[in-house]
Amino acid sequence: MTLKNSTVDAVSIVEIPKIKDTRGNLSVIENDVIPFDIKRVYYLYDVPSDAYRGGHAHKELYQFLIPLSGSFDVIIKDGKNIKSVTLNKPNKGLMIVPGIWRELENFSSGAVCLVLASEVYDEDDYIRDYDQFKLLKSR
Ligand code: T46
C-alpha cells in the first residue's frame, strides 16, 4: 500500500483474539494479527471530550489503534472518500495504512487509545496540511 494508491476501503477493523474465563478477558496481539513488526508504541489518554487529535496523514507508516478503555471516533479520508469509525471495544482495533488522513475526536471520559506503529517517530513522514495531502493523492 502506498501514499498515492490507498483508499479508505483499505482501513479495516481487526478483531484481536480474546481469551475469556471467569477472571475476565485477556487479548493478545502477535504477528498474525497485524501485518507489520512493531517499532513503536504510544498512547493517548486524559484527552478532553472536546479535543481533536490527528489531523494529518502518513507517507509510509502503518498504525494499529486500540481503544484500551472508553471510546472515540476516527474520521478517515483518502482525498475523495470519508468514513467515520467508532472504536469502543478493547478487542477491536483499527488498522490504518499509509496515505490516509485521520482525525480523532469525541473521546469519552477515561478513554485510552493505544497505538502500535510500524516505524519509529519521524516528523518527515507526516503530511499535516490537508491541501497538500489532497494534491499528493490526486497526482
Ligand atoms: C497519529 C495519531 C493517532 C513524539 O515525540 N513521538 C511520537 O511517537 C509521537 C506520536 C508524537 N511525538 C510528539 C510530536 C508532537 O510534538 O508529540 C507531540 C504530539 O504529537 P501529535 O500532535 O502528532 O499527536 P496526535 O495525537 O495528533 O497524533 C498522534 C500521532 O502523531 C499520529 O501519528 O496517527 O496520534
CA dist., res. 67 & res. 86, Å (int) = 10
CATH code for position 106: 2.60.120.10
Q: Does residue 128 sit within a domain?
A: yes
Per-position b or e across 7-23, b if 16+ CB within 10 A of its CB: bbebbeeeebeeeeeee
Pairing of strands 92-96, 63-69: antiparallel
**Cα 8 to ligand 1 centroid, rounded to whole Å:** 21
Q: Does residue 40 sit within a domain?
A: yes
Does residue 31 register a pLDDT over 90? no
Task: Give 106-135 pLDDT, tens digit per residue.
Answer: 999 999 999 999 999 999 999 999 999 999
Q: Does residue 3 sit within a domain?
A: no
Q: How many domains does the chain have?
A: 1
**Mean pLDDT for the chain overall:** 97
Query: Which of 41, 59, 39 has the alpha carbon at shortest distance from 100?
Result: 59
Q: Does residue 2 sit within a domain?
A: no
Q: Does residue 105 sit within a domain?
A: yes
Which domain, by its residues, includes 64? Answer: 8-138
Q: Does residue 27 sit within a domain?
A: yes
Q: Which residues pair with 105 in a beta bridge?
A: 73
CB of 43 within 6 A of ligand 1: the answer is no
CA dist., res. 127 & res. 15, Å (int) = 28
**The C-alpha cell that represents 84 in the structure block:** 467515520
- Predicted structure pTM score: 0.97
Q: Does residue 127 sit within a domain?
A: yes
CB of 121 within 6 A of ligand 1: the answer is yes
Q: Does residue 52 sit within a domain?
A: yes
Confidence of residue 80 (pLDDT cuts 50, 70, 90): very high
